[in-house]
């Protein structure tokens, strides 16, 4: 039923940082429920700012954000979103299992232990369940970050460059898991610098530059619109303005 309501709707979203940098300007976006949506753009385009605004991690200058029809700062909307940030931001005092159970608790789960064990198994972290985050390898931290984002069964999962700097095998593993998640009905918003990743995974791709939406369509639609054969060429043309 909730598929009638967009998973994410931004209207006139503007964010100006204290140093007067305009990261997003009058940005409109509507992401249908159940879609796999890619956000592409160079560094500084405003992708992370957009995600941070949705997740209540920055103060919005102007505009409206709705998550499944609810204001983004409402408790209901917050519960609906799972975020895996670009940078590893794990609590250094907690073990793998504690990281997941405490996150579940913060997001309102009464009994998060079973779910934590399920995700530890799903992400191959059994041997590290009682190890603190700083002692994990880079790949294990990346897995834990994704597991944490999924812990509370969010309906909208936001992945900010989840495969940046990970090896080929882990990237394949993460793709497999994300795909399965999407097949189960979860809406995914993915930002990435890897064009093949966006093409492989996303139903629809939005190109963003200097805080503005440049184009949005399926990979095929973008190629047709820009009159080129490869997504790389779409990207180059779009970013060249």
Separation of alpha carbons 33 and 18, rounded Å = 33
**By CB under 8 A, residue 20 contacts another protein:** no
Among 42, 64, 93, 124, contact with another protein (rule: CB under 8 A): 93
Helices first, then strands: H and E counts in the chain: 9, 10
Smallest distance from another protein to CB 196, Å:
29
CA distances from 201 to 43, 159, 176, 197 (A): 21, 12, 10, 6
Q: Does residue 102 touch another protein according to CB under 8 A?
A: yes
Min CB(175)–another protein separation in Å? 25
Please report, as residue ranges, which positions from 65 to 84 form the binding site for another protein (by CB under 8 A): 75-76, 78-79, 81, 83
- Binding string to another protein for residues 152 to 171, with x set by CB under 8 A, is what? --------------------
Return d(Cα 118, Cα 237) in angstroms, integer: 44
Tell me the residue ranges of DSSP E strands in the chain: 8-16, 22-31, 36-40, 62-67, 70-71, 81-84, 156-160, 187-191, 204-209, 212-217
Q: How big is the site for another protein, counted in residues (CB under 8 A)?
A: 32
Q: Determine if 18 is a binding residue for another protein (CB under 8 A).
A: yes
Residue 58 engages another protein in binding (rule: CB under 8 A): yes
Task: Give the binding range for another protein (CB under 8 A) out of 102-110, 117-125, 173-181, 186-194.
Answer: 102-110
Q: Count Cβ neighbours within 10 Å for each residue of 147-185 and write b for 16 or more, e otherwise.
A: bbbbbbebbbbbbbbbbeebeeebbebbeebbeebbeee
Site residues for another protein per CB under 8 A: 17-18, 52, 55-59, 75-76, 78-79, 81, 83, 85, 87, 89-94, 98, 102-103, 105-110, 148
């Amino acid at each position: 039923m909730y598929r009638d309501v967009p998973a994410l709707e931004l209207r006139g979203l503007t964010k100006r940082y204290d140093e007067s940098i305009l990261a997003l300007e009058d940005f409109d976006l509507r992401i249908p429920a159940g879609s796999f949506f890619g956000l592409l753009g160079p560094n500084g385009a405003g992708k992370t700012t957009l995600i941070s605004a949705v997740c209540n991690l920055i103060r919005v200058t102007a505009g409206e954000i709705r998550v499944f029809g609810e204001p983004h700062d409402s408790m209901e909307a917050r519960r609906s979103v799972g975020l895996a940030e670009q940078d590893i931001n794990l609590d250094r005092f907690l073990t793998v299992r504690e990281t997941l159970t405490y996150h579940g608790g913060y997001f309102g789960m009464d009994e998060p232990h079973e779910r934590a064990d399920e995700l530890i198994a799903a992400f191959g972290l059994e041997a590290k369940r009682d190890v603190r985050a700083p002692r994990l390898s880079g790949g294990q931290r990346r897995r834990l970050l994704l597991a944490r984002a999924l812990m509370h069964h969010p309906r909208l999962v936001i992945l900010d460059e989840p495969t940046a700097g990970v090896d080929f095998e882990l990237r394949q593993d993460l793709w497999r898991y994300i795909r399965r998640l999407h097949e189960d009905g979860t809406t995914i918003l993915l930002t990435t610098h890897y064009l093949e990743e966006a093409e492989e995974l996303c139903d629809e791709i939005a190109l963003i530059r200097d805080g503005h939406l440049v184009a949005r369509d399926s990979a095929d639609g973008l190629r047709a619109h820009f009159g080129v054969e490869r997504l790389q060429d779409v990207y180059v043309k779009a970013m060249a303005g």
